[in-house]
A and B are shown apart, each in its own frame.
Chain A
């Protein structure tokens, strides 16, 4: 391990870490925003549940490399465009989160929703003010799984010319250079931890009634 590599390449590591963050983080937000209404539909409309959950589970079985490579064909984008990876990662996030959101909303205690209805909450307000906050811890745990998964999968995009921390892995392998492999591994792990901590902190802020039970 050549430690001076890290200080010599600090700005490059930061730049790639930022690109990695975009490629993993934007899909996380987009995926969550799309999964919320879909998960709500699956929890609400009984006959929609199997196709929604089955369909999203199906998306998750497509190999990541294939999805990255086929995106330009489907979207008509340039083959090294970041948008290919962002769309592909959004699909994976969505595939993970639809089921989580549906499960989380279904697990909201009936007593709470009935009480809200009795207090005159309209359905939309009840969803935002009661269902969603109570479902937040479970959704957040799904989001954490998706975040860690995204950070790992994004590094595969380095095989198809999209810049991110995974470039250290491919370059290290091509030159049999351990220092680069270590830089790639450790920076990816640290980024995954940063994502995880942010999600936990936000969850805690959003659910003040929960005391120290986010593992």
Chain B
């Protein structure tokens, strides 16, 4: 079986054309990137604001409960609701519902990351900043956000993993991407393509995670990188809903 997968992956003919690996891979990246971008634009400011202002923290809990909604059902529902709104020879009836669902899936971990990241900033650091005469906005930008980065990143990394994985089942509502190989491979008993594409999805997820890990190292202050913060977080993991939800990784499909 390993041999078949390898043969499929290394056959140049499988890489070219509209349903070739290259095109599917680019599509998969595009769908995932777009969903994460939209989710980030919504969730990061919102989570930060909730934690900073202490208002509407029920939103974090509410977003978390979204995880209980099965992604397959969400995809089917979104497709039935929206795809008839588009006419003509366009990919929008498949693209729009998929991107919306992937965005919905990415919001809870991102929101939880931003919220708990800002919430769990050492109160001493915050007080010191205030004592130095910083305004609320300055405290947020110069103290809270930089200190929140490790948890924001861990939220981003779980969201990324989840989106890349779920984008594969969106193939069942007509989306392209690597999931198309799975859908078609299963329908036609082409196990080499189905398995080969799964390897690619796994590699893509790992590569994205590694990349984010590198970025995290570059932008997070070394002072926050020690095991101290980690242990402290773990010890309190059960005490905050957001941290519990961040856990190791997240619900996905």
Contacts and interface: CB of A to CB of B under 8 A. Distances in A.
Direct contact of A and B (CB under 8 A): yes
B98 interface: no
Interface residues of A, number: 60
A140 interface: yes
A63 B68 contact: no
Given A152-B69, A188-B73, A189-B69, A159 B172 contact: yes
Nearest to B77: A181
Contacts of B70: 151-152, 155, 166, 169, 184-185, 188-189
Interface size on B, as a range, is 35 or more
A181 B195 contact: no
A69 interface: yes
Contacts of B195: 66, 70
A214 B186 contact: no
Interface string B48-84: 0000000000000000000111111110110110000
A215 B239 contact: yes
B93 to A, nearest CB: 13
B248 interface: yes
Nearest to B201: A63
B194 A181 contact: no
Interface in A157-215: 158-160, 166, 169-170, 172-173, 176, 178, 181, 184-185, 188-189, 192-193, 196, 210, 213-215
Nearest to A144: B244
Nearest to A136: B238
B179 interface: yes
B179 to A, nearest CB: 7
Nearest to A153: B253
Interface string A145-158: 10011011101101
A142 B73 contact: no
A64 interface: yes
Contact of A178 (B79, B80, B165, B241): B80
A138 B119 CA distance: 19
A61 B197 CA distance: 12
Contact of B194 (A60, A70, A149): A70
Contact of B186 (A65, A74, A213): A65
B72 A169 contact: yes
Contacts of A74: 1
Nearest to A149: B251
A189 B65 CA distance: 9
Contacts of A160: 186
B234 interface: yes
A65 B238 contact: no
A94 B80 CA distance: 35
Contact of A73 (B67, B182, B191): B191
B206 interface: yes
B248 A106 contact: no
A62 interface: yes
A108 to B, nearest CB: 9
Contacts of B235: 107, 109
Contacts of A141: 237-238, 244, 247
Contacts of B165: 61, 63-64
A155 B1 contact: no
A140 B238 contact: yes
B168 A70 contact: no
Contacts of B201: 61-63, 66
A64 B245 CA distance: 21
B76 A61 contact: no
A57 B237 CA distance: 20
Contacts of A64: 165, 169, 252-253
Given A61-B201, A148-B251, A184-B73, 13 more contacts: A61-B165, A63-B169, A64-B165, A64-B169, A106-B231, A106-B234, A107-B235, A141-B244, A166-B73, A181-B80, A189-B68, A196-B68, A215-B244
- Considering the complex of A and B, which 6 residue pairs feature the smallest CB-CB distances, nearest first? A66-B198, A149-B251, A192-B68, A137-B238, A215-B241, A141-B244
11 contacts: A65-B182, A66-B194, A70-B194, A100-B247, A106-B234, A141-B238, A145-B251, A148-B67, A151-B68, A173-B173, A215-B241
